Amino acid sequence: MESFWIVLLGLLAAGYFALAGFDYGTALLFRFVGRDERERGRALGAMTPFVLGDEVWLVAAVGVLFGAFPRLEGELLSGHHGAFVTIVTGLVAFTAAVQLRGAAPVWDVPLVGGALAVAVGWGVLAADVTGAPAPLWIVGVVGLFSLHGGTFLAWRLPGRAGVRARALARSLVLPCLLFVPAAVLLAGPVARPEVGVGVAVAVVVLLLGAWVTSGRVAFCCTAIACALPVPAVFAAQDVVTAETMAGTGTLAVLVPAAVVVLPLVLLFQWATWWMVRVRHA
């Protein structure tokens, strides 16, 4: 029972970073990829249909955290106010700006600022939880999200805008290679050091894969690279354990809800991508 909930929380968190990461990365890069308002609108238009579907993973993960890990939820909220305020503020600004940006380019400010705040907030939280230096995690998360957004835009945008996106993405591979594996390996007294080493090696391989490939293959490489730090954070100092979970009776009651919610999240995500594929067919 305990393993089921730990794996479920990890999968939802990893899915959120793998998917929402390119939303934030697109917001951070679109003004550099697009040289005029038409190109910038096209870049944002490539990302916008996915935003709500990608955020569903976070909603589901928070629901599992509150329901199945009440002690962990209490520890996180009580000990990391600054990181959570930054993340929530960024999410509100980003989500509002995505919906309103078409009305006026002035919404670029909360769009970019919100995306940056979310990335920085997650970096600060990862540093607080793992004990690794905050600059490593902050630069690593911002770099990973930006790289992921760049590979997405390079895949989805035609012409010169796609070429510029690919060039930007390639320029971010080296900073990510320097900061992300270092953040994972220096994650304090990691309870399971083999997890940290395995994640660091896998991230290096995936980032190099993003460098030498293109299109959806490169996008898959950066998506997995964004998701992989999740198990490293979970393993650091045994952050997620049976001791932080609710009682067995509560977990048993929640199992039917989890069995329903996860397929719905997957179905919603598949439907979003399918509809966008049909629209561009």
Q: How confident is the model at residue 74 (pLDDT cuts 50, 70, 90)?
A: confident
Q: Which residue ranges make up each domain of the chain?
A: 2-279
SS3 192: coil
Q: What b/e readout covers 90-126, taking b as 16+ CB neighbours within 10 angstroms? A: bbebbbebbeebeeeeebbebbbbbbbbbbbbbbbbb
Run of H or E residues at 187: none
Q: How confident is the model at residue 278 (pLDDT cuts 50, 70, 90)?
A: very low
Interval 8-27 mean pLDDT:
94
> Does the domain formed by 2-279 have CATH 4.10.240?
no
Percent of the chain exceeding pLDDT 70 equals 95
Spatial CA neighbour of 47 closest among 206, 209, 161, 184: 161
For the cut 60, the answer to whether the pLDDT of residue 280 exceeds it is no
What region does 215 belong to: left with phi over 0, alpha with psi -120 to 50, or beta? left
More confident residue, 186 or 144: 144
Contact status, residue 36 vs residue 259, Cβ threshold 8 Å: no
Interval 212-217 mean pLDDT:
93
More confident residue, 266 or 15: 15
